[in-house]
Amino acid sequence: MKALRLSPRRQLERFLSALFRPDEWVELRFIESWQQAGKKHSRVARAAEWLRPATLVARHAEVTEFAKRNRANVYFGVCPRMKPGDSQDDQIRTVRCLWCDIDNVTADEAFARWEKADVPAPSVVVGSGGGIHGYWLLDRDVRSTSGWRIVSALLPHFYRSFGGDHVQNLSRILRPPGTLNVKDARNGRRPRPCTLLACDPGLRYSLRAFQRWIDTARTEQQQRRRAERMASTSSGVRLPNDNPEVVEIVRNLDRPARDRSRRDFAVVCDLLRLRLGPEEIWPLVAGSSKFESNGRAYFDVTVANAQRCVLLESSPPAEDSA
């Protein structure tokens, strides 16, 4: 699949018109990323901006020239932002599409994966310069708390069915077409164009088209709740029906978060403060967030760090020797 025969500026314009309304805000970020000594590094090249779609298109030349000069990758927030400054999951009020990022594939390979997983054809396809982004436009905006929770719950299972990237939060940022992928440019990697490969704003889907992933998410949540009840019975700890405080803490793992590792750590700390031990906490969190994807090793590191944090909180202050 080849890029549409449009200039980079027109690619950006057509892309934004499919995902945003003229009066909405687009969050824009500029981030350099590179590898050094086998580790990933990044820096913010300049402060984030919030622009109307038309303003971003008008500033295309300036934005792309700055990015190229400073080895900065340009990213945009997939979901519209309510106002300038909004960048967190809990600030998202409109979800207009489902999306995915598949690394190290061609468009043909991505379509083969979607076909094998019985995923409908995306409305918009972007070649990111290192993989493929797909967008499935919805026939109506998701604007309710229950709707946001449904989208947040289905995305991990949707991605998993065809090998998409593991980051699925509502405030997700991706590369827009009409820009350059300059990842690892400081090590001499040549820039690669991010291009619009397909764009059909009329191709829209009801959330019901993704019902099987919604059902999978609900089944997983039910299984997790059963595991929590079994842990309560076997350990003698008052969970979860008998202890609403524990229920509320564990539910935080199902809510969107910009930094899931930080959120997971905070949840484990809160459970430790209720005097639960690691073996009592593990069944409560095992099916959620990064505990599910990264397993027991991730949990053991998280709980060890959380125990140190909670221990420091409870230690008496040192006497002043002065």
**Domain assignment of residue 270, yes or no:** yes
Q: Are residues 229 and 167 in the same domain?
A: no
Long-range Cβ pairs for the range 47-51 (8 Å, 24+): 48/87, 50/25, 50/26, 50/81, 50/83, 50/84, 50/85, 50/86, 51/25, 51/26
Determine the pLDDT at residue 15: 98
Domain boundary residue, one of 166, 182, 205: 205
Residue 258's domain spans which residues? 217-314
The first and second tokens of residue 125, run together, are: 């396809």
Q: Taken in order 169, 79, 92, 223, is the CA torsion positive or negative? A: negative
Q: Are residues 255 and 141 in the same domain?
A: no
Q: Are residues 61 and 195 in the same domain?
A: yes
Q: Are residues 141 and 22 in the same domain?
A: yes
**Domain assignment of residue 272, yes or no:** yes
Mean of pLDDT values over 235-243: 54
Domain total for the chain?
A: 2
The better pLDDT of the pair 165, 203 is held by 203
For residue 235, pLDDT over 60 is answered with no
Q: Are residues 38 and 158 in the same domain?
A: yes
Determine the pLDDT at residue 109: 97
Q: Are residues 31 and 133 in the same domain?
A: yes
Q: Are residues 195 and 244 in the same domain?
A: no
Q: Are residues 31 and 112 in the same domain?
A: yes
Confidence of residue 43 (pLDDT cuts 50, 70, 90): very high
**Domain assignment of residue 322, yes or no:** no
Determine the pLDDT at residue 322: 36
For residue 33, pLDDT over 80 is answered with yes
Determine the pLDDT at residue 320: 40
**Domain assignment of residue 130, yes or no:** yes
**Domain assignment of residue 292, yes or no:** yes
The better pLDDT of the pair 288, 83 is held by 83
Best-predicted range by mean pLDDT (114-128, 165-179, 236-250, 264-278)? 114-128
Domain boundary residue, one of 159, 175, 205: 205
Say how far apart CA 69 and CA 164 lie, in whole Å: 31
For residue 315, pLDDT over 80 is answered with no
Determine the pLDDT at residue 258: 78
**Domain assignment of residue 210, yes or no:** no
Domain boundary residue, one of 162, 183, 205: 205
Long-range Cβ pairs for the range 227-231 (8 Å, 24+): 227/283, 227/284, 227/286, 227/287, 228/283, 228/284, 230/283, 231/280, 231/283, 231/284
Single out the residue of 190, 85, 198, 208 nearest to residue 138, CA to CA: 208
Q: Are residues 197 and 296 in the same domain?
A: no
Amino acid at 235: S
Q: Which of 133-142, 155-164, 176-185 has the lowest mean pLDDT?
A: 155-164
**Arithmetic mean of pLDDT over the chain:** 89
For residue 241, pLDDT over 50 is answered with no
Determine the pLDDT at residue 90: 87
For residue 173, pLDDT over 50 is answered with yes
**Domain assignment of residue 29, yes or no:** yes
For residue 321, pLDDT over 60 is answered with no
Whole-angstrom Cα Rg for the chain? 22
Mean of pLDDT values over 288-292: 85
Q: Are residues 158 and 293 in the same domain?
A: no
CATH number of the domain enclosing 184: 3.30.70.1790
Q: Are residues 224 and 127 in the same domain?
A: no
**Domain assignment of residue 17, yes or no:** yes
The better pLDDT of the pair 275, 126 is held by 126
Helix, strand, coil percentages (3-state) for the chain, rounded to 5, are 45, 20, 30
Q: Are residues 232 and 195 in the same domain?
A: no
